[in-house]
Chains A and B, each alone.
Chain A
Amino acid sequence: MLQLTLFTSVWPLALYLLFGMFVPVAMARAWMRKSGQGRRIHVQDLFGRGELGLLALALTVPIIWDLQKSAYAPQTIAAGSVLVGVTGMMAAAVWVESYCRNLTGTRNDPKRAWRDSRNLAFFIFTMAGVAEILLYRFARVLS
């Protein structure tokens, strides 16, 4: 039962990790190898300017969508959607700020952008996992 819950609730999130993070890194590594470069690409090289914030924002949309479709009380749906939405915007703001600073030549700290976007992406990912588990439990109660 536990494993079934875990699997059915969390496997779509694994797709986000796979296609959002690991596939681009694998593609970058393949490109490097093909072009004869010795450099090994890491996640931080590819997402070092806060791009994980954008990925996290993309992850918030299905959570809000699933919450809206659920049979929770309107207050729960509203509170959850606002919280998830605000968090997604914060994550996107990290990427936007870093991008704008780069564009305008304003003082930029890539380490800070990476750390903030990584932390926010981690938070949104765990929140998505918990939200999916709670939605799954609630659907089981109603059925």
Chain B
Amino acid sequence: MSAPAPALAKVRYVACKVRMGDAAALAGLLSLCFGVFVLLFPRWFPHFITESWQYGTLVPVLTFFSVALNAAMYLRIAHKQLARPEPLASGFMALLTVGTVMGFGFLLESVALHAQLQAGPNTQARITEEVLALIYFALIGAVLVPHFVIRFTQNLFQRSES
């Protein structure tokens, strides 16, 4: 009896497991870049962020950037683990990223309204600072939240399977 042909053998792929350490490294790098930009361009960078937000381009650009970044991250993790990227997890990650950035977009609107209602001498500067802080949290959240949810879901399924 001859051995089964390798081409006909069923290939068993390993599921790609997301680790928080990988997401944290990316988020740390983004955080560092953001901090360096704030320090090197203390006037231009916040002004640029606020202006983009007022023209309505910031949230779509941030959404696209975060989705692309997370997709690249997921593919890199899969490549490192020699695992197959799951389409369901990829779609779920994209959806979570969009949801997180959109959520922060709504928060931005309400925070700007809050700052305008508290009419003070520095309303515009205050709005700029609030927008800067929330965009920073949105950037970090857009990387962390999807990875966190997927990791949590994978742990949950792993436990229920075992």
Contacts and interface: CB of A to CB of B under 8 A. Distances in A.
Interface of A: 1-2, 5-6, 72-76, 79-80, 83, 86-87, 90-91, 93-94, 112, 115-120, 122-123, 125-127, 129-130, 133-134, 137-138, 141-142
Interface string B31-56: 11011001110100010000000000
A126 B32 contact: yes
Given A86-B144, A116-B19, A116-B20, A126 B129 contact: no
A115 B21 contact: yes
A108 to B, nearest CB: 15
B85 to A, nearest CB: 20
A116 to B, nearest CB: 3
B43 to A, nearest CB: 10
B107 interface: yes
A79 B104 contact: yes
CB-CB nearest 4 A-B residue pairs = A116-B21, A123-B28, A126-B31, A123-B24
A133 B24 contact: no
B40 to A, nearest CB: 8
Contact of A142 (B19, B31, B122, B137): B122
B83 interface: no
A94 B111 CA distance: 34
A142 B126 contact: yes
Given A73-B114, A75-B111, A5 B39 contact: yes
A138 B122 CA distance: 11
